[in-house]
Amino acid sequence: MQFLVSSDELIKNLQALRNVINNNNTIPVLDNFLFELNNNSLKITASDLETTMTATIAVESNDTGKFLLPARMLVDTVKALPVQPLTFMFNENNTMNIISETGKYSFAYADAADYPNPVEMEEAAKINIPSGVLADAVSKTIFATSNDDLRPTMTGILFEFSPEGLNFVATDAHKLVKYERNDLKADAETQFIVPKKPLQILKNYIAGTNDEVIIAYDDRNVEFNFDNIRLLSRLINGQYPNYRAVIPTNNPNVLTADRQNLLNVVKRVAIFANKATHLIRLDITGAELKVSAEDLDFSNKAEERLTADYQGDDMSIGFNSKFLVEMLSNLDSDEISLNMSVPSKAALIHPIDGLEEGEFVTMLVMPLMLS
């Protein structure tokens, strides 16, 4: 049994699939790729039981069969080869040869009988979303997810679909991001929470593409289909926090500033902040904004001033600089607005420009108490 495949096409898909496999699997069979050869079609699967990804590529073959190949060794081997056709030849003694233009590489393969069967979603709702929209939705929210396994619902992104539009929400209780598209609609209202691992893989794969992504979902799983890829994930069980209740609606104090300029200032001043709190202070007086930080333990101190448009009462407010850097870095606009009420309540960041029609982004950041 054998097949011929382009090394370039193969390694592009193997590297994406490799991201699904955990470094320390408790089930050894999951350290392998499942290869399913059906004449001129080769389907390759990787899984960690929670996430399963399948890529289907064209090959030259007259054979059929299933087998397991060690993922790490295969990726390392094919990645090290120059672009060329590769012949995979399977022998009866459970060894496999990769034959290139100048060499031959042999290693063992295993029986596919023990590999877990993928979940089949028979009665799933579906929606089509442009890949660029989905990539933006994930990119602008995934950094705000929590890493706290004691609050599993906050470790993923909330997908909210309705006839009014689509919302994507992430929060870790200190920061929150809501990405909205009212130019895309769903037939019915639904919501589900997708883990961050498959979404990170998805984002990296579809970034910069112009394809449609078909999202299929039921009560337990979600599936993303695009190009030659099928990405299946279990959903996170549980009730997502009522994020709407924490988004303030009355924010009369509005600061408008150049996003990149403010980001650069925050990055520089943050170097001098306390390493435990990352506290920076914003003092807003008229058209002047002073950004400062101080670490009393090491006598470090920094401050910078920049001009900005401000409508509201003079205010001093503190933030975690890491959160501000993350939020400002994940926006594409030239200008942003920082909307505040009082120093003890959450502030909102909105991009002023750079958005498509029907696209809205809201970022919430909790303040830190100033001494």
Whether 120 maps to a domain, the answer reads no
**pLDDT higher than threshold 80 for residue 255:** yes
Q: How far is CA 258 from CA 22, 279, 292, 300, 306, in A?
A: 41, 21, 18, 27, 10
The enclosing domain of 304 has a CATH number of 3.10.150.10
Same domain? For 208 and 268 the reply is no
Residues 6+ apart with CB under 8 A from 24: none
Choosing from 242, 261, 280, the residue where a domain stops is 242
Q: How far is CA 265 from CA 80, 260, 288, in A?
A: 42, 9, 14
Provide the number of structural domains found in the chain.
3
Q: How far apart are CA 56 and CA 236, in angstroms?
A: 27
Choosing from 219, 242, 265, the residue where a domain stops is 242
Whether 54 maps to a domain, the answer reads yes
Helix (H) / strand (E) element for 7: namely helix 7-18
What is the tens place of the pLDDT at every residue in 73-90? Answer: 999 999 999 999 999 999
Same domain? For 9 and 30 the reply is yes
The pLDDT value given to residue 197: 97
Domain range enclosing 220: 125-173+180-242
The pLDDT value given to residue 61: 97
Whether 371 maps to a domain, the answer reads no
Helix (H) / strand (E) element for 32: namely strand 32-38
pLDDT tier, 123 (very low <50, low <70, confident <90, very high otherwise): confident
**Is the Cβ–Cβ distance between 139 and 203 less than 8 Å?**
yes
Same domain? For 207 and 316 the reply is no
Same domain? For 78 and 134 the reply is no
Whether 311 maps to a domain, the answer reads yes
Mean of the per-residue pLDDT values of the chain: 96
Query: Which burial class, exposed, middle or buried, applies to 37 when counting CB atoms under 10 A from its CB (0-12, 13-18, 19+)?
Result: buried
pLDDT tier, 102 (very low <50, low <70, confident <90, very high otherwise): very high
Q: Which amino acid is at 174?
A: H
Same domain? For 206 and 253 the reply is no
Same domain? For 258 and 339 the reply is yes
Place of tokens 């883990």: 195
Same domain? For 144 and 91 the reply is no
Same domain? For 286 and 299 the reply is yes
What is the tens place of the pLDDT at every residue in 157-214? Answer: 999 999 999 999 999 999 999 999 999 999 999 999 999 999 999 999 898 788 899 9
Same domain? For 214 and 276 the reply is no
Choosing from 195, 219, 242, the residue where a domain stops is 242
Whether 32 maps to a domain, the answer reads yes
Same domain? For 341 and 235 the reply is no
What is the tens place of the pLDDT at every residue in 308-334? Answer: 999 999 999 999 999 999 999 999 999
What is the tens place of the pLDDT at every residue in 21-51? Answer: 999 888 999 999 999 999 999 999 999 999 9
Q: How far apart are CA 362 and CA 210, in angstroms?
A: 25
Whether 309 maps to a domain, the answer reads yes
Same domain? For 107 and 129 the reply is no
Whether 80 maps to a domain, the answer reads yes
* Alpha-carbon radius of gyration of the chain: 25
DSSP line for 259-308: HHHHHHHHHHHHTTS-TTT-EEEEEEETTEEEEEEEETTTTEEEEEEEE-
Place of tokens 């994940």: 330
Same domain? For 141 and 229 the reply is yes
**pLDDT higher than threshold 90 for residue 243:** yes
Whether 259 maps to a domain, the answer reads yes
